[in-house]
Amino acid sequence: MNYKNLILDLDNTLYGYDVPHKSALTTVLDSFSARFEISKEDTLQSFNVSRQKTHLELPSRAASHNRLLYFQKMLEYHGLNSMYYALEFYEIYWDTFLAQMSLFESVADYLENHKAKGGKICILTDLTAHIQYRKIEKLNLMDFVDFLVTSEEVGVEKPHPYIFTRALQKLNCTASEALMIGDSWQKDIVGANAMGIQSIWINHKKEERTVTENIREISRFEEIATNGK
């Protein structure tokens, strides 16, 4: 799998999402509970309800992932004025999250080598553009990434074909000239496969799937660099 054009998922593909998220969410919930003297159980319940409500109201849209909307609805759930506090909790969450981020082993070397060979890289992601730009900056990926395509930009989420089409357009290549690397079977691999894009599936969770010849399955990103593209 030697390709000049790479399409990369970001979260849980280039870095681990779960640890920063858990740390950031715990920090926000503890702060929320202490600030308003609300039990941790009720605070967590209000977050879960607010997140679910946002997803139901904005299905398959980038805004459904917006933490600012979650915290706004949390405050409203408890009868509190979101004008005073929503942005504060949003910033606490992302400041904590970004401080905890780090690239998976071999990612920087792999991307640097790819760029040195004249390759292009497009990050393809479902989240909002603003925070994904912040993540790319925090991870020092600006020198490697040529393009970013977010679901906010195109109005649909992976595995919709249009979001993959936009990545191919920016890379100025055909599906057969690109390689997708991602951790989500449904969003990254199924989406790429439907477009005729070969892919590398980073199966962190050791899911059982039927892998076809145009899909390479690995368990860690560093296996790509070790065994080649």
Separation of alpha carbons 124 and 150, rounded Å:
6
Token pair of 183 as six digits: 């951790």
Token pair of 226 as six digits: 């070790």
Separation of alpha carbons 17 and 67, rounded Å:
15
Q: Is 126 a catalytic residue?
A: no
Token pair of 3 as six digits: 């390709």
Out of 9, 126, 183, 188, the active site residue is: 9
Separation of alpha carbons 226 and 195, rounded Å:
27
Q: β-pairing, 178-182 with 5-8?
A: parallel
Separation of alpha carbons 81 and 50, rounded Å:
15
Q: Is 95 a catalytic residue?
A: no
* Tokens 């681990």 found at: 16
Separation of alpha carbons 135 and 128, rounded Å:
11
CB 201 within 8 A of CB 193: no
Count CB-CB contacts under 10 A for residue 117: 9
Out of 11, 126, 183, 188, the active site residue is: 11
Catalytic residue numbers, as ranges: 9, 11
